Chains A and B, each alone.
Chain A
């Protein structure tokens, strides 16, 4: 295992991590400071001024309701990143928890894996539509729907890694010597599951943002009253041949963000996963 400091140094030398992470950091900072970056209220409508081209007043132009697109893209970024981040954290956390239980207790395993197979086989898009219909469109529902469909993948990953770790001599030794289960998990299992999990989390982050856009396309995404990149693109898509600008800006930012997160994920995998060659 690397020490923490050498790990950091290795990370900084990895171009995928520095470039991907750098872009992501920059985007995040821009969005956090959106209110101070020349934006106006992203919700105020003015239909008379709809679909204007970019100008000094409206840097990215206006959307179909005459709302300022620059402000919407910046505020929308907050929501999209928040959705991606939340899904990554929640799916990883619950996936880890369920995966540990499933991998460690053979009785629970059978039941849990059947449930996970069942959930995994319901396409996320369909689950999301049903859940949106069930509980009204909201950011929380979007997060929940994507999370539910991502959890089984994390569970499989964690379970597999626990199963193989159990066979290792030092874990077996700890189990035989009567070390309490939580201690074994914290001391031996968690550290070794950590690396693939972090990599998986970055991919989930990216995939969740794309999924949010797809859900908006069907009308089951973030409610139209809250701007997100997904629903800005979905609402503007009719105009893609006429006023390309309306989807270019949110789509470019979405792609850039997803791109940088994926890139960071690749870098992290190279760095953390000992089996993967540089």
Chain B
């Protein structure tokens, strides 16, 4: 009898000890001011010029720094650059770097490093390529001064250097920047507010970014990617948690502090949790969803048939099917460059006020469509693509198209879409940071080049070429209208909605920068 009681006591004590050991761990973590975040995906590629993947861009903004940066209003502000001058003919641009900038390996940042970095970046970046094509020479004048000598007027010098369109113009030491951008770097040395610690990186599990004690922040307050990047935490622990449901549960339980993409369907639950706040986004920090069309695959080579889609795609259905309530969407945004952004325009809109299956049926009857099969690609491992493609298939089926929905993973979509005769349409979404500018917008700017969908329009090409040469904002806005008109006419893609991808965080965090690129300077734990 006694024996049994003892056993029970021991078991109870062990359970208590086990329970306490766990809480002691999290208390210790709080003392050294660490913050745990779960981001959209694992950070696999650490070379920010090498890939256009959003997650690597996020990593880039933490570890690397930029010459210029965008503020909340969409304006470009100096970041590593202190002062700069432009000659009267707008062709000679002279820049001076801020004092005290250092690489993470302790070496000072020099203008030679900067020149090499710009050259690595502009070989792969769309904006960078435009700048390169307009540039005659880029030279280091002294340890902290450099010059860009243009051969033709270019209105977007600072925009190109400071725009968050991937790949971003991140700076790195010359010895690394001399590697071509199509060869992946093996070393991570930046000058950003966080330092990557390779030894504490366990792939598929955690990455630790430590505060850069040598970072010299600007004096201005933090403003989107611009301003002073003051880090108030000791370290940022980025955890890989593949299951979004588990991530949301772990946030509620207080095991993690920040989740970039909690499942939409769980947002109402998180909103009702007093220990958790939901962070929504506006303007260029929102996403826009698209159905990308293949212009080389009959019958979609016929613009009349492509235009039928404007009559059926209403912008409420896909966001609703994704589980987003109205507060996280911009209903009926008929602007290619998103609504609430500098280049918002509905010029040339062909989208009726109330799109419907009936309207589309009428429109289809007037075309030469003859029952050809329409192949829709559906990536089952990405929610937005899975849901939007499914809704598109249902719409087109009801309209009278002969639809085949092909389910596959995202990697297969990426390779299938490179074949002009293998698909007609797939659903996709991208941030306003890329889509908000006509010349970085994937479905207007990628005109007449080898890019899945292969839309090609001569007039569109002229407007796109004129855009960076324009010297005033009014001129650029007028060109955005022209581009929008052409886009509605040739239908490179049809938008299915403007949505926010809200983040969720523990409510004891404050000062979070409302940006769809999650950055962890400025914020504090109360």
| Residues of A in contact with B (beta carbons under 8 Å apart) | 43-45, 47-48, 50-51, 64-66, 129, 132-133, 136-138, 219-220, 223-225, 237-242
Q: Which residues of chain B come closer than 8 Å to A239, judged between CB atoms?
A: 265
Q: Is B391 an interface residue (CB 8 A)?
A: yes
Whether A65 contacts B405 by the Cβ 8 Å rule is: no
Contact flags B362-400 to A (C-beta < 8 A → 1, else 0): 000000000000000010110000110011011001100
Q: Could you pull out 26 A-B pairs where Cβ atoms are within 8 angstroms?
A: A43-B394, A44-B398, A45-B390, A47-B320, A47-B391, A51-B265, A65-B321, A65-B387, A65-B391, A65-B394, A129-B409, A133-B411, A133-B412, A136-B408, A136-B412, A137-B380, A138-B407, A223-B405, A224-B378, A224-B380, A238-B244, A238-B245, A238-B265, A238-B266, A242-B268, A242-B269
Q: Is B263 an interface residue (CB 8 A)?
A: yes
**Given the interface contacts A45-B391, A241-B269, does A50 sit within 8 Å of B321 by beta carbon?**
yes
What CA separation (Å) do A132 and B409 show in the bound complex? Answer: 8
Contacts beyond the supplied A136-B412, A223-B406: 5 A-B pairs with Cβ under 8 Å: A47-B320, A47-B321, A132-B407, A132-B409, A239-B265
Q: How far is the CB of A263 from chain B (nearest CB, A)?
A: 32
Q: Is B318 an interface residue (CB 8 A)?
A: yes
Chain A's closest residue to B376 (CB) is A225
What CA separation (Å) do A251 and B372 show in the bound complex? Answer: 38
Of the residues B378, B386, B398, B408, contact of A133 by C-beta under 8 Å:
B408
Q: How far is the CB of A135 from chain B (nearest CB, A)?
A: 9
What CA separation (Å) do A8 and B474 show in the bound complex? Answer: 88
Q: Which residues of chain A come closer than 8 Å to B394, judged between CB atoms?
A: 43-45, 65
What CA separation (Å) do A220 and B379 show in the bound complex? Answer: 10
Q: Is B317 an interface residue (CB 8 A)?
A: yes
Q: Which residues of chain B come closer than 8 Å to A64, judged between CB atoms?
A: 265, 321, 323, 387
Whether B316 contacts A136 by the Cβ 8 Å rule is: no
Whether A45 contacts B321 by the Cβ 8 Å rule is: yes
Interface centre among B380, B406, B408, B411 (most CB of A within 10 A): B380
What CA separation (Å) do A223 and B378 show in the bound complex? Answer: 9
Whether A137 contacts B391 by the Cβ 8 Å rule is: no
Of the residues B263, B321, B323, B408, contact of A132 by C-beta under 8 Å:
B408
Q: Which residues of chain B come closer than 8 Å to A223, judged between CB atoms?
A: 378, 380, 405-407
Chain B's closest residue to A225 (CB) is B405
What CA separation (Å) do A220 and B245 show in the bound complex? Answer: 19
Of the residues A48, A65, A129, contact of B316 by C-beta under 8 Å:
A48
What CA separation (Å) do A134 and B43 show in the bound complex? Answer: 26
Q: Which residues of chain A come closer than 8 Å to B317, judged between CB atoms?
A: 45, 47-48
Q: How far is the CB of B289 from chain A (nearest CB, A)?
A: 13
Q: How far is the CB of B118 from chain A (nearest CB, A)?
A: 39
Q: Which residues of chain B come closer than 8 Å to A51, judged between CB atoms?
A: 265, 323
Chain A's closest residue to B412 (CB) is A133
Q: Which residues of chain B come closer than 8 Å to A242, judged between CB atoms?
A: 265-266, 268-269
What CA separation (Å) do A238 and B393 show in the bound complex? Answer: 23
| Residues of B in contact with A (beta carbons under 8 Å apart) | 244-245, 263, 265-266, 268-269, 316-318, 320-321, 323, 378, 380-381, 386-387, 390-391, 393-394, 397-398, 405-409, 411-412
What CA separation (Å) do A235 and B269 show in the bound complex? Answer: 18
What CA separation (Å) do A223 and B245 show in the bound complex? Answer: 22
Chain B's closest residue to A219 (CB) is B380
Q: How far is the CB of A193 from chain B (nearest CB, A)?
A: 38
What CA separation (Å) do A237 and B263 show in the bound complex? Answer: 11
Q: Which residues of chain A come closer than 8 Å to B321, judged between CB atoms?
A: 45, 47, 50, 64-66
What CA separation (Å) do A129 and B266 show in the bound complex? Answer: 27
Q: How far is the CB of A46 from chain B (nearest CB, A)?
A: 9
Chain A's closest residue to B377 (CB) is A136
Q: Which residues of chain B come closer than 8 Å to A129, judged between CB atoms?
A: 409
Q: Which residues of chain B come closer than 8 Å to A65, judged between CB atoms?
A: 321, 387, 390-391, 394
What CA separation (Å) do A240 and B381 show in the bound complex? Answer: 19
Chain B's closest residue to A65 (CB) is B321
Chain A's closest residue to B323 (CB) is A64
**Given the interface contacts A50-B320, A239-B265, does A136 sit within 8 Å of B391 by beta carbon?**
no
Q: Which residues of chain B come closer than 8 Å to A237, judged between CB atoms?
A: 245
**Given the interface contacts A219-B381, A224-B390, A242-B269, does A47 sit within 8 Å of B407 by beta carbon?**
no
What CA separation (Å) do A32 and B473 show in the bound complex? Answer: 66
Q: How far is the CB of B379 from chain A (nearest CB, A)?
A: 9
**Given the interface contacts A48-B320, A50-B321, A64-B321, does A225 sit within 8 Å of B390 by beta carbon?**
yes
Interface centre among B263, B269, B316, B323 (most CB of A within 10 A): B323
Whether A137 contacts B244 by the Cβ 8 Å rule is: no
Chain A's closest residue to B403 (CB) is A225
Q: How far is the CB of A213 from chain B (nearest CB, A)?
A: 15
What CA separation (Å) do A44 and B398 show in the bound complex? Answer: 9
What CA separation (Å) do A167 and B391 show in the bound complex? Answer: 62
Q: How far is the CB of B316 from chain A (nearest CB, A)?
A: 7
Chain B's closest residue to A217 (CB) is B243
What CA separation (Å) do A242 and B394 show in the bound complex? Answer: 26
Q: Which residues of chain A come closer than 8 Å to B380, judged between CB atoms?
A: 137, 219-220, 223-224
Q: Which residues of chain B come closer than 8 Å to A45, judged between CB atoms?
A: 317, 321, 390-391, 394
Whether B393 contacts A225 by the Cβ 8 Å rule is: yes
Whether B316 contacts A47 by the Cβ 8 Å rule is: yes
Q: How far is the CB of A110 from chain B (nearest CB, A)?
A: 37
Interface centre among B265, B316, B323, B378 (most CB of A within 10 A): B265
What CA separation (Å) do A43 and B387 show in the bound complex? Answer: 13
Whether A219 contacts B409 by the Cβ 8 Å rule is: yes
Q: Which residues of chain B come closer than 8 Å to A224, judged between CB atoms?
A: 378, 380, 386, 390, 407
Chain B's closest residue to A46 (CB) is B317
Chain A's closest residue to B397 (CB) is A43
Minimum-distance CB pairs A-B, first 3: A137-B407, A223-B407, A47-B320
Chain A's closest residue to B318 (CB) is A47
Q: Which residues of chain B come closer than 8 Å to A66, judged between CB atoms?
A: 320-321
Chain A's closest residue to B398 (CB) is A44
What CA separation (Å) do A122 and B409 show in the bound complex? Answer: 20
Q: How far is the CB of B266 from chain A (nearest CB, A)?
A: 7
Q: Which residues of chain A come closer than 8 Å to B408, judged between CB atoms?
A: 132-133, 136-137
What CA separation (Å) do A166 and B407 show in the bound complex? Answer: 48
Chain A's closest residue to B386 (CB) is A224
What CA separation (Å) do A137 and B391 show in the bound complex? Answer: 18
Q: How far is the CB of B383 from chain A (nearest CB, A)?
A: 9
